[in-house]
A and B are shown apart, each in its own frame.
Chain A
Amino acid sequence: MSEAILEVRDLAVAYGGRTVLSIEHLAVVPGETLAILGPNGAGKSTLLRSLALLELPASGTVRFNSEPVQRNSASRLRVRRRMATVFQSPLLCNTTVSNNISLGLRFRGHSAGEMAGNIKQWAERFGIFHLLDRPARTLSGGEAQRVSLARAFVLNPEVLFLDEPFSALDQPTREALLADLEHILRESRITTVFVTHERNEALHFGDRVAVVMGGRLAQVDPAERVFSSPISEEIARFVGVENIFRGTVEEQRGGIGVISLGCSQIQAATNARAGERVLVCLRPEEIVVARLDADFASESMRNVLRGRIGHVVAIGSQLRVRIEAGVILTALITKQSWQDLSLAEGQEVQAAFKASAAHVIGRR
């Protein structure tokens, strides 16, 4: 891992004597997009504000390019001017779009001539060039957020902070802006810290994901790993693992554990020894639902459970299906497959998944 551009150590933020955020260590690597993910009120935004030097922590050190940032306001301002922040609401000033985009440049003492080219370039990239002379308050939500993003990018920041910048937008606007921003971020490789409570956004954008829960860092890992291998039940639930079972390893067979879940027995990839108590996490999309006559012998499905279809809920083009198979499994199946297999509530089916699909967490 290359040297961190931004690093915090032993950070504590307290409101009214109560510690709301306590971070032992977190480092942001140059060029990466770090998604800070967590439920509402977990302390994500407080962490972002501390990293962005918008909040003075009760204790702890922040390092920027390996240099410790002093607690005095001049030193913090100097570093803050090498970064930029975009918030959930666009927070535009009551003036023209152009004046809004140039705001940070003016704070840095740039002249009108220097600014013009930059403003034009970023307005074009965010598709708001035609709005430059418009009063900011006449813009739609999506346009305003584009102005807010252009206002940050025009500063050419070394670190960009985004605090849930899409959560106030409607779905189509959000998707269009997400696509544009993703393109710009991939192209510019600006180091980005991105706060969200939407796990899909974190997975989509984040090179790494830092999960914040109860004011603490619960897990920091590459995005895929956080989603496939959460390190606790709490994280597993938050990142969308709907099947979490308590079990005991009965036997270890060279990296495959045979785990008793009470009424059922499954096999999962784990090095846990026999007798260890574990949690088995299984994402709904990893479960294949099939009719009783289906044959999984050739598909390396080590786990094939027989059960009965319970409650079915439609979610967009998919169905969330509960299967009572000793344990209650939740599986996702497309509406098309449901029809093709002629499935119905109450019907007996097979639910199959690979040993590698089940993620095993040790428990005390």
Chain B
Amino acid sequence: MDVIWNGLVQAFWLIVTGDPEVMRITALSLKVSGIATLCSLILGIPVGSFIGLARFPGRGFVLSLINTGMALPPVVVGLFVSIMLWRSGPLGMLQLLYSPTAIVIAQFILAFPVVTGLTVTAMQQIDPKLRLQLLGLGASRIQLVMQLLKEARLAMLAAIMAGFGAVISEIGASMMVGGNILHYSRVLTTATVLETARGNFELAIALSAILLVITFLINWALTAIQQYGSGR
């Protein structure tokens, strides 16, 4: 019990004193996962809207792929991105392996199916007759999709939370493609693993506590927006 308590106390002090290394790791985690989530939203929302609204041959197969993608094991993604970015791999010339960018790529691959799949579900939950009604009021295709996304805003916030939650907490991919390099590609999860392996349980608990608090604060904020939206 002492280990946990000491860890929590240390976490408190690390945050209060603004420990430079902890701050750097936390900032990198937020930046990497934030960018990955943002990219997955930019691509996943239009793709999810299209799949949710359009009817085309092979749609069921594409949906199955996306649903499978929602449960992609991070280590598999890590392995795949590693092979791609490996010096002799197809994208080796970019020299991105063991960099924060590599983590963004891997996390994007993890978050994209989550955001896309939840967008498809959100679109399908809207009364199909509303589409006809909006077209009947003179909406263009883009205006139609924008209005439907607005209608599905609560479900879309859930998609953002799920996408961000999936990547901020993963370890396998970040470790494999980021390399956990000090002052460069070390994020909260990889740092926690390292400190645990070193026997620095207090620091590991402190890092975990910071991760939990960050995740909680972001989800709290999104939930507040969601519930404010639902109450209007």
Contact = CB atoms under 8 A, between A and B. Distances in A.
Contact of A80 (B127, B133, B136, B151): B136
Contact of A85 (B136, B140, B141, B147): B136
A152 B150 contact: no
A353 interface: no
23 contacts: A49-B132, A54-B132, A54-B135, A80-B135, A81-B138, A83-B136, A84-B136, A84-B138, A87-B129, A87-B132, A87-B133, A87-B136, A91-B127, A93-B151, A95-B150, A95-B232, A104-B137, A104-B138, A107-B139, A107-B140, A152-B137, A155-B138, A161-B136
Contacts of B132: 49, 54, 85, 87
Interface string A59-100: 000000000000001000100110111110101011100000
Contact of B137 (A89, A135, A155): A155
B143 interface: yes
Interface residues of B, number: 18
Sorted nearest first, the 4 A-B pairs with minimum C-beta distance are A85-B136, A104-B137, A91-B133, A81-B138
B139 A91 contact: no
A151 B137 contact: yes
Contacts of A309: none
Contacts of B9: none
Contacts of B143: 107
Contacts of A93: 130, 147, 150-151
A52 interface: yes
A104 B129 CA distance: 16
A52 B147 contact: no
B54 to A, nearest CB: 13
B175 to A, nearest CB: 43
Interface of B: 127, 129-130, 132-141, 143, 147, 150-151, 232
A73 B135 CA distance: 11
B38 to A, nearest CB: 25
Interface residues of A, number: 26
Contacts of A52: 136
Contacts of A86: 136
Contacts of A87: 129, 132-133, 136
Contacts of B139: 107
A358 interface: no
A103 interface: yes
B138 A54 contact: no
Contacts of B130: 91, 93
Contacts of B140: 77, 107
B141 A73 contact: yes
A108 B134 CA distance: 12
A135 B129 contact: no
